[in-house]
Structures are given as structure tokens and as C-alpha cells.
């Protein structure tokens, strides 16, 4: 049951991230192109090196995956009542270090803006309260010479009979 819940919540997150820019989805605008040339969305928890070896990678890359499913039985007599921890990683790469961090911060801001706009009931017993945490990795070699990753983690409450 936990696998089904994690996958269902991951699908709900990707729906919110890929919403059209006209609906107010900042990430939808990020992925359509805009100033970044488009960011592919992947539903996978894979290392950057593996993704690069698997085929041509277009940067920035947005990855969505479920990190943890916790059934803490907050509501008694439900088969699942707990939280699903989701991670959204934005990887950016370019040939110069100058401006890399600023570009990644703008992309992370687009993700957090989409999450903020998505607060509330997501249907099917899932709800998002609005909290998140953003961590920035250090600049390293990879991608188009230099790359950096921002990871946004948050919890989605789920209650199912």
C-alpha cells in the first residue's frame, strides 16, 4: 500500500509543477522555456552522473520523487493516515561558474512559488499545508563543466480508509 500512496502523491506533485503558466504555475513557465530554454521533468531518484550517462541531458533538470512514506495512524480506524515526504531536485549546469548560483536560486524560487500556490486539499485524501525546506549543494564539476543542485523537500498529509 505504501508504494501506491507514494506514487499517487508524486503524480499529484508533477501535475502541480507542470501546470500551464497561464494558471499561475511558475514552474510551468520554467519548463515551457522562458529564459532557461526549458527544463525537462523526470520522476526519478537518480544521481546526476547516471542521468548524464543514460543519454543526452538538457539542463536545468527537475526530478520529483518520494523519499519517505510514514503511516503514523493520526486518524484511528483508517488504513493509512500519515505523511509522504516528497523531494524536488533542480539541477543546473553551465560552462561558467559566474551566475550559476543565481540561476539555480531563481529556479528553486519557481518551484517554491508553485508549491505555495498549491496549498490546500489535493483530493483523494491528500493535502499540503505549505511548509518546505530548500537545501543548496555546492558547485561541482559535471553537466556542462559546472553544476549545482537545489533540493526542495516537503510533506503531504494523506488520509485514506
Domains of the chain are 2-160 (3.30.2000)
Summarised one tens digit per residue, pLDDT across range 36-45 is 445 678 888 7
Burial profile 9-39: b = 16 or more Cβ within 10 angstroms, e = fewer: bbebbbebbbbeeeeebbbbbbbeeeebeeb
Q: What is the pLDDT of residue 131?
A: 96
- C-alpha span between 68 and 85 (Å, rounded): 5
Summarised one tens digit per residue, pLDDT across range 9-47 is 999 999 988 875 545 455 554 555 444 445 678 888 777
The answer to whether the CB of 149 falls within 8 A of the CB of 137 is yes
Q: What is the pLDDT of residue 130?
A: 94
Residue ranges in the chain modelled with pLDDT below 70:
1-3, 20-39, 48, 56, 143-144
- C-alpha span between 143 and 141 (Å, rounded): 7
The answer to whether the CB of 64 falls within 8 A of the CB of 17 is yes
Q: What is the pLDDT of residue 27?
A: 58
Q: What is the pLDDT of residue 90?
A: 94
Report percent pLDDT > 90 for the chain.
55
Q: What is the pLDDT of residue 47?
A: 74
Mean pLDDT, the chain, integer: 84
The answer to whether the CB of 135 falls within 8 A of the CB of 150 is yes
- C-alpha span between 146 and 26 (Å, rounded): 25
Amino acid at each position: 500500500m505504501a508504494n501506491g500512496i507514494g506514487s499517487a502523491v508524486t503524480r499529484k506533485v508533477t501535475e502541480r509543477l507542470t501546470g500551464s503558466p497561464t494558471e499561475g504555475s511558475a514552474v510551468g513557465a520554467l519548463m515551457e522555456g522562458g529564459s532557461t530554454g526549458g527544463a525537462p521533468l523526470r520522476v526519478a531518484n537518480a544521481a546526476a552522473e547516471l542521468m548524464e550517462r543514460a543519454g543526452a541531458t538538457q539542463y536545468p533538470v527537475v526530478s520529483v520523487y518520494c523519499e519517505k512514506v510514514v503511516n503514523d495512524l493520526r486518524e484511528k480506524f483508517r488504513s493509512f493516515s500519515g505523511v509522504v515526504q516528497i523531494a524536488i531536485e533542480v539541477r543546473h549546469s553551465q560552462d561558467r561558474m559566474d551566475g550559476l548560483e543565481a540561476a539555480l536560486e531563481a529556479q528553486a524560487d519557481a518551484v517554491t512559488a508553485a508549491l505555495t500556490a498549491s496549498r490546500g486539499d489535493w483530493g483523494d485524501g491528500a493535502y499540503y499545508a505549505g511548509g518546505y525546506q530548500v537545501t543548496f549543494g555546492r558547485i561541482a564539476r559535471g553537466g556542462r563543466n559546472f553544476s549545482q543542485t537545489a533540493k526542495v523537500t516537503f510533506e503531504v498529509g494523506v488520509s485514506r480508509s
